[in-house]
Structure 1
Amino acid sequence: MAAIDATLANLLGYEDIVLASRNVYGGTYQLLHDWYGKRSNLSVSLEWFDGETGAAFTERLAGIERQYAERLAQGRQIYVYVESPCNPHGNVLDVPAICRVAHEHGLTVICDATIATPILQRTLRRADRRERPDFVIHSYTKDLCGSGNTTAGVVIGRNERMFLPKGQTVRAAGHDGHEREYRWDETMFWNVYYVKGAFLDSDKAFEVLSGMRTLE
């Protein structure tokens, strides 16, 4: 949950819109609905899409863009959150197709791929970068750390979105193919981890590394 919160905290702004796959982990739903959705916090709008295909996502996204046209014109953003396979229902989404559509619309995609692990689902290995999520989240607590003796999570993203040395700015192309400028103070390290102290301690990191040997 700390990894999910770190990703959302780094991205979401006031009155942004999150378009999420219908069946997500209960803790994720509570975080989005009960915290980020509160008017006293960020007043984020939470919308859902049913179905598992790129076509179903495309249809729902078109409706969201119409529904929030005024807000989007004011600079608010849509972020896409998917979980596949979902916990506990097991629904499997066409993540590459959803990513491609989202990136064609200039949207950022977050994917919780905890259940499949990289053994079964390698979303970041797609040859077409448009078919890759911008951020992939895993819970080390479950299958990645097979020993079950620690609690941890991880967020995986491109370097320019995760960490840049203080004061540095770089230009890089995102998964949507468009080049833009990335500043150090937009990265997850400085924007979340550094100011909140959300680092994995050395003992837990050792337990994670030891447990991951069972995955190999």
Structure 2
Amino acid sequence: MNIETLAIQSTQFHDANASAVVPPIYLSTTFEREADGSMPHGHIYTRASNPNRNSLEKAYAALEGGAVGMAFASGQAAASTIFQCLKPGDHVIIPDDAYYGTPALLEDVMRIWGLEYSKVDMGDVEAVARSFKPNTKLVWIETPSNPQLKIADIGAIADLARHNGAYSVCDNTWATPILQRPLDLGCDVSMHSATKYFGGHSDLLSGALIFKENSPLAEKARQIQALGGAVPSPFDCWLILRGIKTLPLRVRQQSANATQLAHFLSTHAGLEAVHYPTLESHLGYEVAQKQMLSGGGMLSIQVKGGAEEALRVKSKVKVFVRATSLGGVESLIEHRATAEGAHSVSPKNLLRISVGLEHIDDLIADLAQALS
């Protein structure tokens, strides 16, 4: 089944009560039992399961080609769950360029708990191979990376993890299953901040884990999800299910816009660098061609003149919105080092751009005047 059809079919709900085409929202926190104590529909309490969340989790699994989908209250809650599945003394390999919350979570929370981690340039497969230790249990891949859009070879790194007895997890937030299929490439888990492209309208907070198999890792994550309770509300699940219906259309148009914008910016005299996977100048171009259908809706630019000039450019935009986050229908721009704070490792002259659904001519014109 083609992904456009799957995005619709996987989110449909067959309402036995009223035959509604659009699903109802089940706000109930508890569910009635039969006299013998049985649960006729399998639900007992919304922290453990809910009809809206069940529908969403099935859609996640279908879209990523996995066996098990799980929905969480945020992307960080999903990441936390994976790390909590490990044991004190275990070792994790993560990218040297990643969403700043991932290393922060490991350093400020999980390291104190006893989890070890190492950073590595995941564009260098040999460097990843050298990073394994006897206690390495998980490799965390993020490709394209945030914010420098480094590309990691998912298949090669997943093979390394498997050979070393470790799980592989890919943060697939930026590419989405429309453009990249980590589970098909050998990863054990695909992770998302569903706040971004799945929701698609900057109005909800949620995260997702999709497991290739119903493995012991998946079983442990399900236990933590139910006991910890970091789950999205029924309404947020309903919103994401609605967003998924247009996910293929939005992502492909955002990617097309970003591609044109990246090519325009790649020749601009005021820029030091343009980071976008399908530019032939990109170091990860060949790998991106192999594992991505297109470059996605995100790009970053480094402005000549340092942080001061980058901030000046950001201050002059009129169509782009100066805000954090990504994946919504509106185009956003931010000075990433400022957003990440004092411990940021992002270049001080880097602006991260989330390309939306505005007309590409207007987006190009806006950055052209801001850079002038």
TM normalised by structure 1 equals: 0.74
CA contact (8 A) 2:93 2:136 kept: no
Asked if 1:87 corresponds to 2:162, the answer is no
Specify the SS of the correspondent of 1:19. Answer: strand
Q: Which residue pairs with 2:353 in the alignment? A: none
Secondary structure at the counterpart of residue 144 of structure 2: coil
Partners of 2:125 and 2:231 in 1: how far apart? 35
Deviation of the 1:102 alpha carbon: 1.3
Report whether the alignment pairs 1:189 with 2:263.
Answer: no
Q: Is 1:27 matched up with 2:60?
A: no
Of 72, 81, 84, the residue aligned with 1:6 is 81
What residue in structure 2 maps to residue 154 of structure 1? 208
Q: Which has the larger radius of gyration?
A: 2
Partner letter of residue 79 of structure 1? Answer: L
Q: Does 1:199 align with 2:199?
A: no
Structure 1 pair 183/205, CA: closer, same or farther in 2 (3 Å)? closer
Q: 1:101 to 1:26 in 2, by over 3 A?
A: same
CA apart distance, 1:183: 9.4
Q: How far 1:139 sits from its partner (Å)?
A: 1.0
Per-residue CA deviation, residues 9-58 of structure 1 (Å, 9 max, x unaligned), is: 12x211111111111111111100111011xxx22222111241433322
What is the letter of the counterpart of residue 239 of structure 2?
E
- 1:8 is matched by which residue type in structure 2? F
Give runs of aligned pairs for residues 113-152 of structure 1, distance below 5 A: 113-126=172-185, 132-152=186-206
Unaligned runs of 5+ in 2: 1-75, 249-372
Counterpart Cα distance in 2 of 1:43 and 1:187? 18
Secondary structure at the counterpart of residue 140 of structure 1: coil
User: Residues 143 and 43 of structure 1: is their aligned pair in 2 closer, same or farther, counting only changes over 3 Å?
Assistant: same
Q: 1:47 aligns with which of 118, 121, 136?
A: 118
Equivalenced residue count is 173
Tell whether the 8 Å contact from 1:136 to 1:157 is kept in structure 2 after alignment. yes
State the one-letter code of the partner of 1:35. Answer: V
Give 1:60's aligned residue.
Answer: 131
Alpha-carbon distance between aligned partners in 2 of 1:16 and 1:187, rounded to the nearest angstrom: 16
Partner of 1:173: none
After TM superposition, give the deviation of residue 158 of structure 1 in Å. Answer: 3.5
Change (3 A) 1:46 1:152: same
Give how far 1:2 is off: 0.7
Q: Distance in 1 between matches of 2:146 and 2:236?
A: 24
* Counterpart position of 2:15: none
1:129 is matched with none
1:5 is matched by which residue type in structure 2?
S
Greater helix content: 1
Partner letter of residue 149 of structure 1? Answer: D
In percent, how many aligned pairs have the same letter? 28
- Determine which of 90, 110, 122 is the counterpart of 2:169: 110
Separation of aligned partners in 2, 1:200 and 1:107:
29
Equivalent residue for 1:169?
Answer: none
Q: Structure 1's 56 and 114: CA in aligned 2 closer, same or farther, altered over 3 A?
A: same
1:19 partner letter: I
The whole-number CA distance in structure 1 between the counterparts of 2:156 and 2:243 is: 32
The 1:156/1:51 distance shift into structure 2, 3 A limit, reads closer
What is the TM-score with the length of structure 2 in the denominator? 0.44
1:53/1:98 contact within 8 Å kept: no
The DSSP-based 3-state class of the residue aligned with 1:55 is helix
